[in-house]
Structure 1
Amino acid sequence: MGISIAVAALVRDGRVLMAHRHPQRRAYPDSWALCGGHVEPGESPRQAVIRECGEEIGVQIDQPRPIPMTVDDPTVQMHAFLVTQWTGEPYNAAPAEHDDLRWFSARELLSVKHAHPEALPAILRGIEVATTGTRPYSAAEQPHDGDGNGCSSLTGRHRT
């Protein structure tokens, strides 16, 4: 199965929050990624993304909505969430992991190095959904939040 990762696309005013992975990181160094991290044993992806956002960017997220996201790394099972509501102002609470946080427009995302460039379409779709209020995916593609809330699988299209 590999490593289970939960990430959050925090979107505000048509911009998504990205974290720059420290150049000394072993995995995906010197690249931009959504905030998040490993799903711990006994934890659902939804619980993990809530915990990780508190640990990494100092915010309490509300109502994370699962979104489909594809990554090419066969060792990673990615669980992505769209977040448009949170308490607190994001800041870099994990400077050993990230050396910068920045809000990006869809256009700006096209010119930076991404940890998972194949996930860019999902991030762009998340910005669109948050900005326009459209549905993030069809009913057939609807992922689940890992807490058994009656949705279908989140894993979507993985190349494993």
Structure 2
Amino acid sequence: MVAAVLCRAGRALLVHRSPSRGWYPDVWDLPGGHVEPGEDPQRALERELTEELGITASVAGEPFARLRGDDFVMDVWVLDQWRGEAANQDVEEHDALAWLTADEMTALRLADARLPELVRAALQQSSPSPQARPSHRPRGASCGRLHHIELWVPDIDRATRSWGWLLSELGYEPFQQWAGGRSWRLPPTYIVLEQSPALLPGGHERTRAGLNHLAFHAGTREHVDALVVAAPAHGWTLLFPERHPYAGGPQHYAAYLSDTDGYEIELVADDS
């Protein structure tokens, strides 16, 4: 199972399970639910939050906590950013929502008696003391992370063949598609390719001022090597072959590739 502590202004959201519900009825609990077979826990929680509350969230990284019971194991993530206003979308399962402090939860009939302490710790993590946070720094657990990268390409179909293969090999999943563009997502970041009608002539040149290359964590050295072998069939050329795989230095195991349109990527092994 998966669940979320949604944090807002020192309070967390609880849902009340309907008294007619078969499993854990008439109790307050965190929003969340079951992980479907073959589903990633993070994607399962994103799905559950949309189905239950009508909000869109990006769930990434390791869970904040794991709760074990006689008949369940539940991983819990802490979120303080999402899109949309939480509202009860699953009226058959829930009959109320409430934003509560950890102290207010102690007076309720809860699905798990550990929830107040879990929520208290989550709220402290989400909202550190004012003395600990510079006054100019925006709040939010995602602050400073890269939201997305957008590359304008001269041929979207050609770029999709190269980048679609590579991003899939790195764990990205198709995210958006429209007439002139595609995107792939590995939360919390997504990468966009677009053949924009506003694109100026001249093509991309990585040695000019501007973007030189994108660098990705690429797993083990063996995975980097496998990507290098497969890359030419998908439109990528190995750069600096005479110095590969140490073109970045004697302690830096990585592959540098360029696609047909001159975009460069760096695939970095985990131990580099």
Same fold (TM over 0.5): yes
Q: Structure 1: how far apart are the matches of 2:79 and 2:19?
A: 27
Secondary structure at the counterpart of residue 86 of structure 1: coil
Paired residue for 1:111? 107
**Matched residue, 2:67:** 70
Distance 1:127 1:37 in 2: 21
CA distance in structure 2 between the partners assigned to 1:27 and 1:127 by the alignment: 27
Determine the C-alpha separation between the residues in 1 that align with 2:28 and 2:60: 21
Counting only pairs closer than 5 Å after superposition, residues 1-160 of structure 1 correspond to structure 2 as 5-64=1-60, 66-71=63-68, 73-132=69-128
Would you say how many aligned residue pairs link Structure 1 and Structure 2?
130
Q: Secondary structure at the match of 1:129?
A: helix
| 1:128-148 Cα distance to aligned partner (Å, 9 max, x none) | 1112178xxxxxxxxxxxx9x
Counterpart code for 1:56: E
Q: Deviations 1:96-127 (Å, cap 9, x if unpaired)?
A: 00000110012211111110113432222111
Structure number, greater radius of gyration: 2
- Give the C-alpha shift of residue 64 in structure 1: 4.9
Separation in 1, partners of 2:20, 2:78? 28
User: Helix, strand or coil for the counterpart of 2:15?
Assistant: strand
Cα displacement string for residues 56-105 of structure 1 (whole angstroms, at most 9, x for unaligned residues): 0000013455211323x232121111011000000000010000011001
Using structure 1 for the length normalisation, give the TM-score.
0.75
Equivalent-residue separation in structure 2 for 1:76 and 1:119 (angstroms): 15
Structure with higher RCO (Cα < 8 A, 6+ apart)? 1
> Which whole-Å CA distance do the structure 2 matches of 1:86 and 1:52 have between them?
13
In the aligned structure 1, how far is the partner of 2:16 from the partner of 2:123? Answer: 19
Residue identity opposite 1:113 in structure 2:
R
TM-score by length of 2: 0.45
- The alignment partner of 2:66 has SS state of coil
Matched residues in 1 for 2:86 and 2:115: separation? 22
Alignment root-mean-square deviation, CA: 1.8
Matched to 2:46, the amino acid is I
For residues 67 and 115 of structure 2, what CA distance do their matches in structure 1 show? 5
Q: What stretches of structure 2 of length at least 5 have no aligned partner?
A: 133-185, 187-272
Q: Distance in 2 between matches of 1:126 and 1:34?
A: 12
Instruction: State the identity %.
Output: 35
* Superposed structure 1 runs of 4+ greater than 4 Å apart: none
